[in-house]
Amino acid sequence: MPDPTTALADVEASVGASHADRAVDGAMRALQAGTAPAEILRAAARGAALHFDPTLRRPPMGLVALAASANLQTVLQKRFHPLPLLQAVALAASEKKAPRPARPPALVSGEITHLGRSFLLAARDGDLPEAEAVFLGIVDERAERRMAGEMLFRAAAEDLGYRGLKLVVAVKLWQLARALRFRDARTILRPAVQFLVAGERDASAYRDVMTVLGKEWVDLDGLARGGRPLDDVGREMAALALAAPDVPACTEATLALLREGYAATSIAEAFAVEAARRIVVAHGDGREAAHAFLFAHAARFVLTFTRSPDTLYALFQVAVRIRSPRPHVRFPPAEVAAGEGEELCHLAGELEARKPDTAAYRTSSYVNRGFSSARLLDTLANYASRDSAIVTEGLNLVLADACAAETLATKAAEPAMALARTIAASPSDWTAYRSWEPLLAP
């Protein structure tokens, strides 16, 4: 029987040293020894976070994939739980790292509200040492401290550098820390701050949004409270807001939705569905559309995280990020199978045959016929987790997590369709999956 303690140490060291094969081998040995997946996740996350190099100016997608693998545990059948975890470990270990682990940061303590404002100022000024010291001083390594999350998300929502990936990284690393019950939270969240503050910056859209809100004398506190779900009229207004010709018009149209009494969370759900439509009609691998959808998904999480008026900035920014004419979704017809199981079998065949449009259409048909969302998402997440995360740069894995969440939240077909299309349009590399199949046997 493999020694789980040694296996976990090997995972952390191998991820930190960028040795993917050894990291996956250590994870498999830990699984075979009966180690809880959460402990493997923690070891891999520590290795990736301690050696994250902000000077490379690349998002920590390995950590994002590890967060996605944790979230997918509730979607997949239990025997397939190791699959996304192993893919995420491989991706995290494949990324270039700093040769030595980061030194422990300085920590600033004090009154939390004051520290939160100090963190925002440091982030805006690009002062990484100050931002790290203040933010990590707020973080509690025993429990979730929502003030820290609010400040992190507010700073990330202001900055559309890397086309919005800063908010995606902030949200997913927060979810990763949550999955690990905030043990080692300072270590795991530190790369989110580093990527936010040290990476390329783009606050131009935020300034345009603030100009409109200032002219309109907007009461964000009042608009953040309550609200009703979108109806058909509201959904049409949301689509028109995203088709606005420029940022000010888009912001004003989004503001009009809030003033009509629609809930910010409901508007965010509609924006996520609209973002998914853009993946469905995308050409090639649809990476740009997928990143926009991930931003919409992250923004919806922020709006459900707390009901602070500051979270509304994420709503305005997501409208700006996905602003474009509403696409018309058209697909070739697919044979309609007699029942739910047959539909899933056909879908699996279309995913394996790499037929993007047909797979998306099949998914739409399945959802519209009222079949089980749980079975559909299990199938899609399984296939997303079979493709090499290194080859896809983690996109299929992270998108599976986001699309599953948005499908369950919105009950719409578009997020699942977007995932089916992305899987079928991506390169097929099941080499690692084939080698892991004995571990996944029932």
Question: Mean pLDDT of all residues in the chain?
Answer: 93
pLDDT of residue 283: 81
pLDDT in tens, 297-353: 999 999 999 878 888 999 999 999 999 998 887 765 656 667 899 999 999 999 999
What's the confidence (pLDDT) of residue 286? 83
Average confidence (pLDDT) over 150-163 = 94
Could you read off the pLDDT of 166-182 as tens digits, one per residue?
Answer: 999 999 999 999 999 99
pLDDT of residue 223: 87
Query: How many Cβ atoms from other residues are within 10 Å of residue 328's Cβ?
Result: 7
Residue 337: what pLDDT? 67
Quick check: 147 and 303 in contact, CB under 8 A? no
Taking 70 as the threshold, does the pLDDT of residue 80 lie above it?
A: yes
Least confident of 50-54, 129-133, 224-228, 401-405: 224-228
Using a pLDDT cut of 70, give the percent of the chain over it.
98
Give pLDDT, residue 245.
Answer: 95
Please give the C-alpha separations between residue 144 and each of 86, 132, 140, 150, 183, in angstroms, as whole numbers: 27, 18, 7, 11, 10
- Most confident of the ranges 283-287, 336-340, 411-415: 411-415
In the predicted model, what is the mean pLDDT of residues 190-211? 93
* Position 442 pLDDT exceeds 80: no
The answer to whether residue 153 scores a pLDDT higher than 70 is yes
Distance CA 305, CA 303 (A): 6
Can you tell me the distance from the alpha carbon of 219 to that of 369, in angstroms, rounded to the nearest whole number?
A: 42
What is the rounded average pLDDT of the residues 32-38?
93
Give the residue-averaged pLDDT of 232-255: 95
> Is the CB of residue 238 less than 8 Å from the CB of residue 230?
yes
Q: Which residues contact 308 (CB under 8 A, 6 or more apart)?
A: 150, 224
Identify the residue whose tokens are 């002219």: 215
Helix (H), strand (E), coil (C) string for the chain: CCCHHHHHHHHHHHHHCCCHHHHHHHHHHHHHCCCCHHHHHHHHHHHHHHCCCHHHCCCCHHHHHHHHHHHHHHCCCHHHCHHHHHHHHHHHHHCCCCCCCCCCCCCCCCCHHHHHHHHHHHHHHCCHHHHHHHHHHHCCCCCCCHHHHHHHHHHHHHCCHHHHHHHHHHHHHHHHHHHCCCCCHHHHHHHHHHHHHHCCCCCHHHHHHHHHHHHCCCCHHHHCCCCECCCHHHHHHHHHHHCCCCHHHHHHHHHHHHHCCECHHHHHHHHHHHHHHHHHCCCCCCHHHHHHHHHHHHHHHHHHHCCCHHHHHHHHHHHHHCCCCCCCCCCCCCCCCCCHHHHHHHHHHHHHCCCHHHHHHHHHHHHHCCCCHHHHHHHHHHHHHHCCHHHHCCHHHHHHHHHHHHHHHHCCCHHHHHHHHHHHHCCCCCHHHHHHHHHHCC
Quote the pLDDT of residue 216. 81
Residue 334: predicted pLDDT: 59
Query: Taking residues 119-137, what's their average pLDDT?
Result: 94
Determine which of 157-171, 210-224, 362-376 has the lowest per-residue pLDDT on average: 210-224
CB-side neighbour CA atoms (13 Å) of 205: 26
Quote the crossing angle between the two packed helices 414-425 and 264-280, to the nearest 10°.
30
Least confident of 40-49, 112-121, 274-283, 401-410: 112-121
In which band, very low, low, confident or very high, does the pLDDT at 249 lie, cut at 50, 70 and 90? very high
Q: What pLDDT is stored for residue 308 in this prediction?
A: 83
Taking a C-beta distance cutoff of 8 angstroms, is the pair 57, 119 a contact?
A: no
* Predicted confidence (pLDDT) at residue 220 exceeds the cutoff of 70: yes
Confidence of residue 438 (pLDDT cuts 50, 70, 90): confident
Length of the chain: 442
- Domain boundaries along the sequence of the chain: 112-198, 204-321
Phi then psi dihedrals of residue 228, to 5 deg: -110, 160
Ramachandran region of residue 405, left (φ > 0), alpha (ψ -120 to 50) or beta?
alpha
What pLDDT digit, counting tens, does each position of 6-19 carry? 999 999 999 999 99
